Amino acid sequence: MSKIIIFGNQKGGVGKTTLTCLCANALSQAPFNYKVCVIDNDKQKSIAEARNFDLEDRTETTVPYTVLEFEIEELQQQIQALDKEYDLIFIDTAGKLDTQAAIENQEITKAIMYCDYLFLPFRAGNFNLDASLQYLKFLLEVQEVRSDSPRQLKILGFVNMYRVRSKVNDLLISEIKHLKEGGVSFMVNRLGNYTIFEDVDTLTSMYDEDTNHTGKLNFTVWLNEFIKLISNG
Ligand SMILES: Nc1ncnc2c1ncn2[C@@H]1O[C@H](COP(=O)(O)OP(=O)(O)OP(=O)(O)O)[C@@H](O)[C@H]1O
Ligand SMILES: [Mg+2]
């Protein structure tokens, strides 16, 4: 049985796709070497396109992990087989909720239905709190719908694109307090705003225990916590 993981937040541009690639790139290669699959279920197809781009002009055909471009129906058909085949499955989707539709009919619910872990990237400012709180309320309802399932959905928040000297940092602390009161645990480690994360591809691992690069070191420490969290049950 695999671990099925999704980065989710209805707020756009918080790092869902970036974190999916950073984690898949690192966890599929040394020192981890997990068998990883990324399901690109986002209509933007950013990961599938990035993988095609990464393979252009390359003669070798080996890749660290599989990228599958799936509509929700294909995901529903294939997930059981993939669950047997892979150690880790990441699903990248658009986050937008359809507030008109019943919870079980929402596209996003159909993807989250299979997940063991939802990691909620959170960024301070820009009216992110209301969107995240609304999303959290939706997730708690999904958890409720799934309460009879042997696989429980664990929800964990983390700060992405943190800036050390930022006017919004005081706000960030109170926003996280709100989210915690809303029922989400937060990772201790934050991911900073680093240009190397903007250039993420679908091949290169940024995990490096011996690095002097602050961005890579930040990701390495963050990923160590991430692994601990997904290893606990
Ligand atoms: N930690 C980070 N440091 C610097 N840039 C980042 C970081 N995380 C994400 N970004 C950048 O922020 C932008 C949005 O990231 P990304 O596309 O991953 O968000 P998303 O949540 O998947 O967005 P969408 O809702 O459109 O799918 C991208 O340009 C990405 O390079
Ligand atoms: Mg995205």
End-to-end CA distance of the chain: 12
Q: Which of 14, 16, 18, 38 to mutate to test the pocket of ligand 1 (most atoms within 8 A of CB)?
A: 18
Q: List Cα–Cα distances, 77 to 32, 39, 83, 146, in angstroms.
A: 28, 13, 11, 19
Q: Whole-angstrom Cα distance, residue 35 to residue 89?
A: 9
Cis, bond preceding 150 (omega within 30 deg of 0): no
pLDDT for res 194: 96
**DSSP secondary-structure letter at 188?**
S
Q: Using the atom order of ligand 1, give the atom closest to the CA of residue 198.
A: 31
Residues enclosing ligand 1, CB less than 6 A? 12-18, 42, 94-95, 160-161, 191, 193-194, 197-198
pLDDT for res 145: 85
The residue behind tokens 């020192």 is 31
State the burial class of residue 49 (Cβ atoms within 10 Å of its Cβ: 0-12, 13-18, 19+): middle
State the burial class of residue 209 (Cβ atoms within 10 Å of its Cβ: 0-12, 13-18, 19+): exposed
The gap from C-alpha 139 to its chain's centroid, in whole angstroms, comes to 15
Q: Whole-angstrom Cα distance, residue 191 to residue 160?
A: 5
Q: Give the side-chain half-sphere CA count within 13 A for 157.
A: 24
Q: Which of 6, 107, 189, 198 to mutate to test the pocket of ligand 1 (most atoms within 8 A of CB)?
A: 198
Q: Which amino acid is at 44?
A: Q
Ligand nearest to the CA of 122: 1
Q: Residue with the nearest Cα to atom 5 of ligand 1?
A: 198
pTM for the predicted model, two decimal places: 0.96
Q: Which amino acid is at 197?
A: F
pLDDT for res 233: 57
Instruction: From 155, 162, 160, select the one nearest 180 (Cα to Cα).
Output: 155
Q: Whole-angstrom Cα distance, residue 54 to residue 44?
A: 17
Identify any residues that bridge with 38 across adjacent strands, giving them in sequence order.
67, 90
Please tell me the distance between residue 13's alpha carbon and the centre of ligand 1 in angstroms: 5
Ligand nearest to the CA of 12: 1
Q: List Cα–Cα distances, 97 to 110, 131, 140, 205, in angstroms.
A: 12, 10, 14, 32
The mean pLDDT values, 10 residues at a time, for the chain of 233 residues are 94 94 98 98 95 87 94 95 98 85 82 94 78 88 86 93 87 88 93 95 97 97 98 76
Q: Give the side-chain half-sphere CA count within 13 A for 131.
A: 20
Q: Using the atom order of ligand 1, give the atom closest to the CA of residue 162.
A: 1
Q: Whole-angstrom Cα distance, residue 89 to residue 2?
A: 7
Q: Whole-angstrom Cα distance, residue 98 to residue 129?
A: 18
Domains in the chain with CATH codes: 3-231 (3.40.50.300)
